[in-house]
Structure 1
């Protein structure tokens, strides 16, 4: 009897001891079964790496261009163009802000609506990014606003065109294009046309991420001029218009570092998923002059945090935020009229980015040019109806719900939930793969309760009286917010 009691006691003790282990395992692995795009590809998406794509003189020339440009705005202010909503617009608050965390207003469209890439922001806030940060939404939003300038006309600049005529580069880009068409086997030189659409410069200061995303896709009949950016990614995930998708090739080349020390050593790894969102990510440390090539419209990619641990300034997404060169390798981070941070050039992860479309021949390229000129686009109402029907057919939406009895905001939110999930890749970098700090948004009491376990952004401080005045910068033909520090001197 005594022996039985002892055995019973040991058995009970083991059961109770296993409870926290089981609970910990559930926290660790269960979220992956309920969230995240888990698709694994049968065949990896092609990518190429070209060392020394940029010569040292090319790097120096592009860096000089960056210094001469001087101002780089956040993606919200720099990229807003074309059709920007599906009708989910709400009025701006009296203080100029938006009530919804993922809504914003822009200079060209001053109502609150989903930002072009709200899909990126929502995933980033929920998961805490590639490293699984446990931070407040305000802190994370301040860590996603990389500074970028778009130059669609620069693709015709002789010095830029020369970069895209390199034989080794064209061979590698050809591999990317043919992979997008699903073409196997050897190919002949010159059996494709690569049409650059734009070049960008991206500056990523310390403490910033470039969250996981896909680049805007291009379809015959649908593009970023005819629909909000996030709709393009909804179409990609739905499989609608798959046969109308135009393959593209994105290139990323690095301008930071020196010839002697070419690597950016303070985080900022390039992260990408050639085997699909359900497979493990690959990481590359950014190297001066090196180019990474892929179809960014099909492959999910991003940039891990630069200078992890750096406390970024309180950047408000509803203000005009930009980084401006002041000379002497010094950059000011300005938010409306306030100076909120200062960096040196060597602090920045500096990237030259370009995108282009793949065509089989000149005739197809000319057809595309005419297509843009004629604005031969699928009407938005027709596209939304097709998405509604697809959700009904695939069980994503109850047949009692439709465009007639749903508000456009509810319909847009449903599209986000049902189609726009990125990988839950934090399962490899964080014990609990969700960012529980996101629950504190709009709930001050919960923010206080979670404060010991969550990183908040640092208090916003205007540093204007501690540094020389920002240099005068005006943009002819732009609205008032672009003239913020005009005529200060």
Structure 2
């Protein structure tokens, strides 16, 4: 019996050993499969990421890094305070569409129509102060912003992003450029002289003359982006006053008019914060690509009094969203009059036509003083620019058409597409931005698909942030202070 008992237990031991061995093998195999699957998933994800970047963005790297300069304490406290007083005197700051609508020449290439009886424009066309509808001058900026989600890589609906694309501008009078002691002092600073020597002497000339073309203060409110962009290009015979803005940018990036291009420089000085607390508390880093759209992303933390100087027509640049996780108000339709107006007690109303839609304190605004200008050989050289013959719009369009047919973008023997289609093809062909965002997340805002296919909005809703319902605060806040004039008056008493 003992021998039999011993013999009976032996198979059970062998069976247990076999099960244990199989479990170990199965467990190891499962872990290996999981590891392999994880690696494959990451590889596919990275492959998709790179594929999307290639599809949506520009990979070109410049042969030589474009020069840029950062200058701490570029503007002193007295000048900063003086410029901040301009905020309260100006009182109203408007979007770029309205701020830069004066003195324009040709605004469209044939797609323009009048707004309907309700003041609305067809799809993809925007209304001007004069009531005309056309492709906005910087449609290239909006296109990239909505497709990629901007510098934060936001995954948001079209309506949400439409309420997060506003920066507000106050244009200083033209005589400010010539008479301001602030600019005179800044232009004499050694760091500024060094920067401008580098930027404006880039053609190799012995001397140069810098002609400022625009001076303004920019307000960016919480929840808003300053999307990546190139500044408008300037050429002998063409600029933003003679052709649509996006054409000036395409003329730069295409390289087809390099022989007529005028070197430019832009300077940004930050006015927010205080002497004791100069760093802007809501983020909004300055982001730029001096090695080209396919080069390394650089960032600068906005600091009171700091100056940033570069050729913004050559370097893609923008600003990260202010207060990234702030719930921005619904700003309403694209054709309404969006603006910020000062009320007193450091309080500003964000307004849409007659509606107050949000309030903000001065300390929450990212404030910057910006001027741009052109580099000429001499003052006489600069003075001759205004009388230089304009390049006819049709000649510019013909050059683009011929180049796109050469590239295979357009059929060689086919007529030019209708103006609206041609404009979109031109922008897609020549104006691409870096696709990366500051968080290195998927650079495609898939939520934008629901704009074309509204039935997808419900399906995508768990993965996309939508805009809040539109809400007017007129009954909850004191009436907006009267402001007379401009595209639309605010509580302006009848004359």
Q: Same fold, TM exceeding 0.5?
A: yes
Tell me, what secondary structure is at the counterpart of 2:367? strand
1:145-169 CA distance string (max 9 Å, x none): 1101223602123334423431412
Picking from 220, 223, 232, the partner of 1:207 is 223
CA–CA distance in structure 2, aligned partners of residues 96 and 310 of structure 1: 31
TM-superposed CA distance for 1:226, in Å, is 0.4
The 5-angstrom pairing of residues 169-188 of structure 1 reads: 169-179=192-202, 181=203, 183=204
Q: Judging changes above 3 Å, is the alpha-carbon distance between structure 1 residues 402 and 468 closer, same or farther for their aligned structure 2 residues?
A: same
Unaligned runs of 5+ in 2: 1-21
Determine whether 1:232 maps to 2:242. Answer: no
| Partners of 1:117 and 1:422 in 2: CA distance | 13
Native 8 Å contact 1:271 1:283 kept in 2: yes
Distance 2:145 2:275 in 1: 34
The equivalent residue for 2:149 is: 128
Higher alpha-carbon deviation: 40-49 or 438-447: 438-447
- 1:67 aligned residue: 88
Which has the larger Rg?
Answer: 2
Q: Quote the residue 1:40 is aligned against.
A: 61
The equivalent of 1:259 in structure 2 is 275
Q: Which residue of the partner structure matches residue 454 of structure 1?
A: 464
Task: Give the one of 346, 359, 362 matched to 1:345.
Answer: 362
Q: Secondary structure at the match of 1:88?
A: coil
Distance 1:142 1:329 in 2: 23
- 1:114-148 CA distance string (max 9 Å, x none): 11100000000000001111011111121111101
Shift of 1:13: 7.8
| SS of alignment partner, residue 227 of structure 2 | strand
Change (3 A) 1:66 1:464: same
Q: Which residue of 2 aligns with 1:106?
A: 128
Does residue 84 of the first structure (1) align with residue 100 of the second (2)? no
How far is 1:16 from its partner? 6.0
Cα distance change of structure 1 residues 378 and 466 upon mapping to structure 2, 3 Å threshold: same
Contact 2:240 2:248 in 1 (8 A): yes
Q: Which has the larger displacement, 217-226 or 456-465?
A: 456-465
Q: Give 1:365's match in structure 2, choosing from 352, 375, 382.
A: 382
Check whether the contact 2:79–2:182 (CA below 8 A) recurs between aligned residues: no
- CA distance in structure 1 between the partners assigned to 2:148 and 2:480 by the alignment: 36
SS at match of 1:482: coil
Distance (whole Å) between structure 1 residues aligned to residue 173 and residue 310 of structure 2? 19
Looking at structure 2, the residues matched to 19 and 164 of structure 1 have their Cα atoms a distance apart, in angstroms, of 56
Aligned match of 2:185:
163
Please name the residue that 2:12 is paired with: none
Return the match for 2:347 from 318, 330, 353.
330
User: Cα gap change, 1:14/1:255 in structure 2, threshold over 3 Å: closer, same or farther?
Assistant: closer
Q: For 1:444, what is the secondary structure of its paired residue?
A: coil
Give the stretch that moved more between structures: 217-226 or 360-369: 360-369
- Helix, strand or coil at the partner of 1:165: helix
Most deviating of 165-174 and 285-294: 165-174
Match of 1:483 in 2: 489
Match of 2:435 in 1: 424
Query: Matched residues in 2 for 1:45 and 1:340: separation?
Result: 41
How big is the shift at 1:93? 4.5
Q: Which of 429, 437, 440 is the matching residue for 2:450?
A: 440
Partners of 2:453 and 2:494 lie apart in 1 by 39
Q: CA deviation at 1:24?
A: 2.4
CA contact (8 A) 1:388 1:402 kept: no
1:164–1:20 CA distance, 2 compared to 1 (3 A): closer
Structure 2: distance between partners of 1:392 and 1:349: 44
Q: 1:174 Cα shift?
A: 1.6
> Which residue of the partner structure matches residue 276 of structure 1?
292
- SS of 2:132's partner is coil
Matched-pair contact (CA < 8 Å) for 1:164–1:170: no
Normalised to the residue count of structure 1, the TM-score between the two structures is 0.90
CA offset at residue 400 of structure 1?
Answer: 3.1
* TM-score (norm. length: structure 2): 0.89
